[in-house]
């Protein structure tokens, strides 16, 4: 299938060099590179899902806690740590 792609000039020069050294066509070299990239992406995505711990406790936010103020939250953390 014929298509048009915009490829960075330096990257295209690298592909052309590989094609010339390997005595292959430019399309073949680029197709192989795309296949390798897709296979690597698929391999990374094949990992088992991560089981993240979930806090199911009650209580929610304590009265008087301002979640919009980083300074206030840091002050509360420091108080809890005895600082």
> pLDDT (tens digit, 9 = 90+) per residue, 4-43?
989 999 999 999 999 999 999 999 999 999 999 999 988 8
Q: What residue ranges do the domains of the chain occupy?
A: 9-45
C-alpha distances in Å from residue 48, one per residue of 38, 43, 45, 51: 19, 11, 8, 9
Q: Answer yes or no: is pLDDT of 50 > 90.
A: no
- Torsion angle in degrees (nearest 10) through CA of 31, 36, 42, 43: 170
Residue 67 has pLDDT above 90, yes or no: no
| Contact in structure between 67 and 57 (CB atoms under 8 Å) | no
16 in Cβ contact with 26 (< 8 Å): yes
What are the residues whose beta carbons fall under 8 Å from the beta carbon of 29, sequence distance 6 or more? 15, 18, 19, 22
């Amino acid at each position: 299938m014929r298509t048009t792609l915009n490829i960075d000039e330096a990257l295209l020069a690298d592909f052309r060099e590989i094609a010339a050294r390997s005595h292959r066509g430019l399309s073949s070299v680029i197709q192989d590179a795309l296949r390798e990239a897709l296979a690597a992406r698929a391999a990374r995505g094949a990992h088992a899902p991560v089981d993240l711990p979930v806090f199911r406790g009650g209580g929610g936010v304590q009265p008087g806690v301002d979640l919009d103020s980083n300074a206030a939250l840091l002050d509360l953390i420091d108080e809890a740590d005895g600082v």
